[in-house]
């Protein structure tokens, strides 16, 4: 650890470089974990990129639902790229360090993409509510301009929260130790390394989590409560099935994403444990991002058809 602690800035008590904790002392376990995470990362990048490309290149999918889905895929790509590459490096290399600036950047982009996704999932639920509960006014109330504004607000909220939280935490002094008990620069493990009173930061982090994680989730629940009420009074079984099928993929994605993030950021500080936090973080950074394109492509005939057309065009261009 003496080598790591030499990473402190000379003649200063402030840590200017951090070191991620080892996943395991057993090289075989690290290599196995590296392989699994790499495969999930590649599957996530490929799946989300294909969905975004298929939606952009197929005019039939230029509708509000698929516009939001394309945005979600782009957010997932940014979300995983902000964390996974450095994690993979730490698994197979002794170079587990990250600069103060690098750690701040990683935290900002992680929060930015994560909060933007929370807001976008709420916008997607609102879109489904309008489509099912107000179909006669859907085209005007969910116009291109409205959808673009909802997407911009989602990305904008993520940017502002990321900037505010990162600036708040990295304006603190870090007096050591310099080892982060995590595999990326997440808020709780970085805040644990700060010296001095961090109670204001903890309150700010909890308030941001309530406003930007719980509030969108409440909006999602309210939207689906109205949708369920509307579906139950539909006279046609086919209409009920069609309405529910368009919502099932989104509901499953919401459950996976919010289930893990809520447990991480909304439970009391005393109940946090490094092992549980790492497992949850691995789930919502790698597993859910890999599953999302699978969920949408398996449960949506239009997406599957668009993917086949997109892949078919690529194969023709490759062999042509």
pLDDT, tens digit (0-9, with 9 covering 90-100), for 131-143 = 988 888 898 899 9
pLDDT value, residue 267: 62
pTM comes to 0.85
Is the per-residue pLDDT at 245 higher than 50?
yes
Could you report the per-residue pLDDT of 253-298, keeping only the tens digit for each?
888 888 777 766 666 666 566 667 777 778 878 888 888 888 877 6
CA distance 218 to 220: 5
Give CA 232 to chain center in angstroms.
32
Could you report the per-residue pLDDT of 103-119, keeping only the tens digit for each?
999 999 999 999 999 99
Walk me through the domains of the chain, giving residue ranges and CATH numbers.
26-318 (1.20.1070.10)
DSSP string, 76-132: HHHHHHTTHHHHHHHHH-S--EEEHHHHHHHHHHHHHHHHHHHHHHHHHHHHHHHHH
CA proximity to 128, closest of 50, 242, 234, 212: 242
Left if phi > 0, otherwise alpha if psi is -120 to 50, otherwise beta: which for 258? alpha
Mean pLDDT computed over every residue of the chain: 82
Task: Give the three-class secondary structure for 17.
Answer: strand
Model confidence at 72, pLDDT cuts 50, 70, 90, reads very high
């Amino acid at each position: 650890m003496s080598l790591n602690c030499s990473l402190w800035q000379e003649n200063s008590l402030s840590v200017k470089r951090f070191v991620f904790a080892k996943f395991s002392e057993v090289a075989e376990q690290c290599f196995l974990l590296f392989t699994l995470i790499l495969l999930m990362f590649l599957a996530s990048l490929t799946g989300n990129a294909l969905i975004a490309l298929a939606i952009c290149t197929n005019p039939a999918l230029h509708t509000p639902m698929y516009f939001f889905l394309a945005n979600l895929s782009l957010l997932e790509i940014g979300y995983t790229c902000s964390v996974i590459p450095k994690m993979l490096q730490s698994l197979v290399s002794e170079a587990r360090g990250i600069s103060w600036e690098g750690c701040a950047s990683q935290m900002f982009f992680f929060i930015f993409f994560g909060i933007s996704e929370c807001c976008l999932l709420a916008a997607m639920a609102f879109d489904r509510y309008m489509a099912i509960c107000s179909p006669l006014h859907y085209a005007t109330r969910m116009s291109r301009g409205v959808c673009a504004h909802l997407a911009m607000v989602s990305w904008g909220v993520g940017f502002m929260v990321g900037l505010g939280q990162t600036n708040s935490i990295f304006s603190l002094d870090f007096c050591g130790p310099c080892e982060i008990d995590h595999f990326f620069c997440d808020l709780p493990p970085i805040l644990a390394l700060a010296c001095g009173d961090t109670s204001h930061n903890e309150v700010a982090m909890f308030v941001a989590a309530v406003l930007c994680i719980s509030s969108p989730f409440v909006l999602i629940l309210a939207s689906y409560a109205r949708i369920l009420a509307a579906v139950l009074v539909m006279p046609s079984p086919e209409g009920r099935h069609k309405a529910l099928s368009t919502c099932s993929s989104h509901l499953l994605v919401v459950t996976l994403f919010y289930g893990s993030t809520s447990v991480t950021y909304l439970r009391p500080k005393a109940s946090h444990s490094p092992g549980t936090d790492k497992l949850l973080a691995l789930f919502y950074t790698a597993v859910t991002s890999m599953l999302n394109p699978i969920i949408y492509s398996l449960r949506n005939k239009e997406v599957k058809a668009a993917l086949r057309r997109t892949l078919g065009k690529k194969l023709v261009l490759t062999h042509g």
